[in-house]
Structure 1
């Protein structure tokens, strides 16, 4: 083993490989490693960053290193050593480690913060302020791991993140947490984040109060993504089942009937709801359509178009009454496309083309979700998910969809 004097001499050796070897040696004295942390050669400084025997003072110095790779290696090392921190937060080792983690949690390089987040996501001893900084990060790859898994985050921390206007996707991670408390579930439910609410409903360990579930069910008819996780929620009340039965697809009601965890009262409610829906469907099929004759239907659409009544409200009413022929012809009229093109889109069950048709007809993006499910019959996993006020494709891409489904003679 080299003596202290030998190490001092090697630390000043003109050959960087000699200095790097010294920096990598776990037997090198802490003060020598601190000296090498400021070496002009990045290869030497990297070895100090990798050396688990380096003093925290040297690590703290390296958090400001200009070399991205060095800070990345440093983040991985310190995060790896964090579970072994002393319980006494008053020690110099604890304080210096926290300072280094704080600096790395705010590093300009996303990769450094990602490494830190993934390494600390399940570490119970991780400093709370560092975890909260990572949880609020504006990069989802940084915030998501700790938001979903970190045991350090309190309910108050999670509510703070939710109420701070987090980036898209952050609430999804929170919604997937194990044993989520009711107060946090309520905040997610009232956020209006469709995907996060879907994840919340699919999280069987999440506590959801009955009034919160009622709040979600009130809004569920227009959110297909929620239907399946809603009907599969554990401990559904008979009242909730009856409400769900009024709008979810029959195949989902069939799945509810096959559940083994529901009590007799709830199963009776499901059976009654299914029987009622079947009776309504039969009655609707036997009823004379409102616009039975082709000429009357065309004339009705033309009159509505001229008076400004051919709009989303009219189409929603027709969908509710099962008047699909009216909806098809109305979309063709509003979009200025041949009825044959509309029929071809529906027959092909093309979700993207339905979105394009909705856009061409001058309707709002959210209406495309209704058309995909109620007109075409697509399931929650088949539809193109819609933003409330933004189309998921460019105008050129949507026009391409329409051209693709048009007859050759109708393509310009």
Structure 2
């Protein structure tokens, strides 16, 4: 990133020495608004430039200025990572929109924020459309009553057995939490029995009423959530594959890609970068790799992973990131891995060759 390009966008020397606070605020709004209008077509280098500029501007403006930044960036699928992470760690009035909606924040980011920031930050995270068990484990362990209430009422949140047990324990003297847990559709029978045993008579009656008359009013929301979880496009829209492709190929080149790099991206929860690397190593298009690594039917991925000679460690890491973290149960993940291990590599190569012949023939 050249200094000349940066200074063409913002003259920081003048801004720090001569500009009034009002001018700084106005310039910051203009820059972030400009980025929001052009983000879809920005190159990786341009995004990096905006990232550096917005990082410096964030230190020069008021809470209101940073709030505008956060609200604008939270709506974007392609947003500069560094400034998003900076603002997500800001005071809650700034951080909230990013914590609630930004797809730029990875699970590792959310976990770190939940551990070191306030209960308000955890409450914002608890309202995200999609939450993995890794994140909810931290929120249940460290969150106060409002955090637990919002989590229990969030049907996009997945819970480990450990977290469900903790929520049930917390619900023993908490009717609101009892009701929220009772209205979830993902509790196992054993947990439902335990919930009924601790629920107050008032909560039991409300659950019965919801089951009889109130269920119809929840059908649209339930149907929407179910449709989202079943839709490949919903999950793919959460990630910026274009920037990832430019970044990976620009930094490593096709000759610099390796299985070791692929596994590193998986371990760092960098799903778009992992998809790009997998596509290059497998010799398939990015669009094809994107769809293979989001769908619940994992057979195409299994065959290609075996044909490419990916090691078990890499395959296991890939099955735990991105959409598969949410869409595959532990049993589905194990079944997929067992199919990979039992598949002969020569047979996998023949299957890949047959797919390519069919594609050329069509």
Q: If the length of structure 2 is used for normalisation, what is the TM-score?
A: 0.52
Tell me the CA shift for residue 66 of structure 1.
4.4
Look up the match of 1:123. 76
Asked if 1:234 is matched to 2:181, the reply is no
Contiguous gaps of at least 5 residues in structure 2: 213-362
Matches within 5 A, 1:5-404: 55-58=8-11, 61-62=14-15, 66-83=19-36, 84-85=38-39, 86-90=41-45, 93-107=46-60, 109-137=62-90, 139-164=91-116, 166-257=117-208, 258-259=210-211
> How many aligned positions are there?
205
Tell me the CA shift for residue 108 of structure 1.
5.2
Tell me the CA shift for residue 87 of structure 1.
4.2
Tell me the CA shift for residue 174 of structure 1.
0.1
Change (3 A) 1:109 1:230: same
Look up the match of 1:268. none
Tell me the CA shift for residue 64 of structure 1.
6.7
Contiguous gaps of at least 5 residues in structure 1: 1-30, 35-54, 261-412
Q: Within 2, Cα distance between the matches of 1:129 and 1:253? A: 47
User: Greater RCO between the two (CA within 8 Å, min separation 6)?
Assistant: 2
| 8 Å Cα contact 2:84/2:104 also seen in 1 | yes
Q: Within 1, Cα distance between the matches of 2:168 and 2:103? A: 30
Q: Within 2, Cα distance between the matches of 1:107 and 1:147? A: 22
Change (3 A) 1:95 1:183: closer
Tell me the CA shift for residue 107 of structure 1.
3.3
Q: Within 1, Cα distance between the matches of 2:27 and 2:16? A: 7
> Which protein has the bigger helix share?
2
Larger Rg: 1
